[in-house]
């Protein structure tokens, strides 16, 4: 069979088109949960949809390891076309994913070895590497070193960003007390101020938190409008205002919602959406990814209030971690001292000119108000 390579009991196949990619769906997430890349941004839903939106004029180089004709490992890669962008290797999802890696079972180094060997066999298909957001603790780091050494591609490791996270090891009341009286008083005071406003005394206009697990076009229209208002007020960027990103999000978020992988907390007064926290839920980890608030009400710290409510819900549901994902905004360190570090492996010719090209999509929007 073309594209088949034997290595002990593990074989590898190269997937180069979307139809063959789609056939992996029944197996994909089963492999994710056994791997070090066990995150929401390694799921089939995220990466297949990303490829559908961003794969034009790029070459899919998805390597799949098989054992007894069953997929057991994945190298989710693509290469630039060599015309409008260099023929460098990238992970699928690059730019919008907070974490990326080979998706292989933790106890099967032979699977990763087979994928690495297959990648080296494809050396004529790529010129360099530009791998972003690899966790520093990845067990595959040494194997990637072998790729660049064997392929004779001068490349360097760079630190891209830290990713704060909060292990959930107590109940909500116990943890919330550790945030300090000043923090708790600020949240309570801002909510009381809102509800004592003249409009707040009108029935139905109180500030209320709503937990949402699925989204539709109407809600996403509200998100876009809120993001646009914030950008006009202070220039704040949002992936919902970047049209290629927005089209992707309009498809992937409803899909993830239908599959119980989405978490959204929203603050409303009457029918108006005033703030939201958009996150993901995967294997007991709740991840915060994007947030926004109405700048007309910045004095009420709506970003902080929605995050507190979002976190409380995660605690009460028995999740074991709140992942703030990539980005070092100061407000995150009010919640935790735990951090992971992400790395990039880049060819030397691009490393000198490429900084952190893709700004974190995480909820940096509340930095200003949480530090006020």
Collect all residues with Cβ–Cβ distance below 8 Å to 335 and sequence separation of at least 6.
164, 166, 179, 311, 322, 324
Give the residues of the chain that fall short of pLDDT 50. Answer: 1-7, 200, 355-372
- Are the folds of 5-153 and 166-340+363-370 the same? yes
The pTM is what? 0.91
pLDDT value, residue 351 = 62
pLDDT value, residue 1 = 35
CATH, range 166-340+363-370: 3.40.630.30
Pairing assessment for the beta strands 128-135 and 339-347 based on DSSP bridges: antiparallel
- The answer to whether 114 touches 5, Cβ cutoff 8 Å, is yes
pLDDT value, residue 5 = 46
Q: Where are the domains of the chain?
A: 5-153, 166-340+363-370
How many CA atoms does the CB half-sphere of 18 hold within 13 Å? 11
What CATH class has 5-153?
Answer: alpha beta
Sign of the C-alpha dihedral computed for residues 279, 287, 276 and 367 taken in this order: negative
pLDDT value, residue 76 = 98
């Amino acid at each position: 069979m073309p594209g088949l390579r034997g290595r002990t009991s593990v074989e590898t196949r190269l997937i180069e088109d979307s139809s063959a990619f789609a056939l992996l769906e029944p197996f994909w997430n089963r492999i994710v949960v056994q791997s070090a890349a066990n995150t929401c941004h390694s799921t089939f839903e995220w990466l297949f949809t990303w490829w559908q939106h961003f794969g034009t004029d790029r070459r899919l180089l998805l390597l799949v390891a098989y054992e007894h004709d069953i997929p057991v490992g994945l190298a989710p890669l693509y290469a630039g076309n060599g015309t409008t962008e260099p023929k460098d290797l990238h992970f699928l999802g690059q730019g919008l994913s907070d974490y990326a890696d080979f998706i292989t079972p933790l106890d099967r180094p032979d699977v990763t070895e087979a994928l690495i060997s297959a990648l080296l066999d494809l050396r004529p298909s790529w010129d360099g590497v530009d791998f972003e957001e690899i966790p520093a603790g990845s067990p595959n780091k040494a194997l990637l070193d072998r790729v660049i050494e064997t392929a004779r591609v001068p490349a360097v490791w760079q630190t891209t960003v830290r990713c704060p996270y909060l292990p959930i090891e107590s109940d909500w009341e116990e943890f919330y007390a550790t945030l300090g009286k000043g923090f708790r008083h600020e949240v309570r005071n801002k909510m009381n101020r809102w509800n004592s406003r003249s409009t707040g005394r009108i029935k139905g206009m109180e500030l209320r938190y709503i937990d949402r697990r699925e989204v539709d076009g109407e809600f996403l229209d509200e998100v876009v409008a809120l993001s646009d208002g914030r950008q006009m007020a202070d220039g704040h960027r949002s992936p919902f205002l970047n049209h290629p990103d927005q089209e992707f999000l309009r498809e992937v978020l409803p899909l993830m919602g239908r599959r119980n992988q989405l978490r959204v907390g929203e603050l409303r007064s009457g029918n108006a959406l005033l703030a939201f926290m958009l996150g993901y839920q995967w294997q007991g980890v709740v991840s915060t990814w994007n947030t926004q608030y109405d700048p007309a009400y910045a004095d009420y710290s709506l970003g902080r209030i929605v995050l507190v409510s979002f976190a409380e819900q995660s605690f009460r549901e028995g999740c074991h971690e709140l992942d703030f994902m990539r980005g070092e905004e100061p407000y995150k360190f009010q919640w935790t001292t735990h951090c992971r570090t992400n790395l990039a492996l880049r060819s030397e010719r691009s490393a000198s000119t490429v900084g952190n090209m893709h700004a974190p999509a995480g909820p940096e929007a509340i930095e200003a108000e949480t530090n006020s």
